[in-house]
Structure 1
Amino acid sequence: MKAPTMDRSLATPASRPTRRLRLRERLAQMRALLRQRATLAQLDDHLLRDIGLTRDEAQAEASRPLWDVPANWRR
């Protein structure tokens, strides 16, 4: 009788690809947030008025640390 062999694809945790995907998504979100905040800091007063922000509000948002995001972004 032949000894059973283990299927290697079943030996690795199924969550590993999912974790990598989540990490990549999170890093992409962080890069996008940095770009958006940098762009916000460079907008002129006319464009800030168009979106309803003052210069001080835009600077405050642009200077927030990377990990300081709105609560609805957190999972």
Structure 2
Amino acid sequence: MSRSLHAAQLALLNNQAGLPSAARALIVLAVVMTKWDRHRRTRKALHRLEPHLLKDIGFSRAAAEIEAGKPFWRD
């Protein structure tokens, strides 16, 4: 597991009854930031893959560059 809590764990925590509004807002923020961090890390890794590895996962270099070039906040 990464340094931050996994998004599913944060969502489960957010579903706990009786959490103050501020705590819920911070949990939602943590979930979003965790998702953005995952996007950033996976796109960076995709950008570094060699052509034969891209072929193994069904990506062309052009498709990998397009995906790697997306900002972290986009799905």
Matched with 1:31 is 37
Aligned partners of 1:28 and 1:67: how far apart in 2?
11
Aligned partners of 1:68 and 1:51: how far apart in 2?
21
TM-score (norm 1): 0.69
Write out the 4+ residue segments of structure 1 that deviate beyond 2 Å after TM superposition: none
Q: CA deviation at 1:29?
A: 1.1
Q: CA deviation at 1:22?
A: 0.9
Aligned partners of 2:70 and 2:55: how far apart in 1?
20
* Structure 1: segments with no counterpart, 5+ residues: 1-12, 70-75
**Structure 2 counterparts to residues 45-56 of structure 1, below 5 A:** 45-56=51-62
Identical amino acids, percent of aligned pairs: 32
> Which one of 20, 23, 44 corresponds to residue 26 of structure 2?
20
Letter in 2 for 1:35: R
Q: Which has the larger radius of gyration?
A: 1
Contact 2:44-2:68 at 8 Å conserved across structures: yes
Letter in 2 for 1:31: D
Q: CA deviation at 1:30?
A: 0.7
Matched with 2:69 is 63
Letter in 2 for 1:64: K
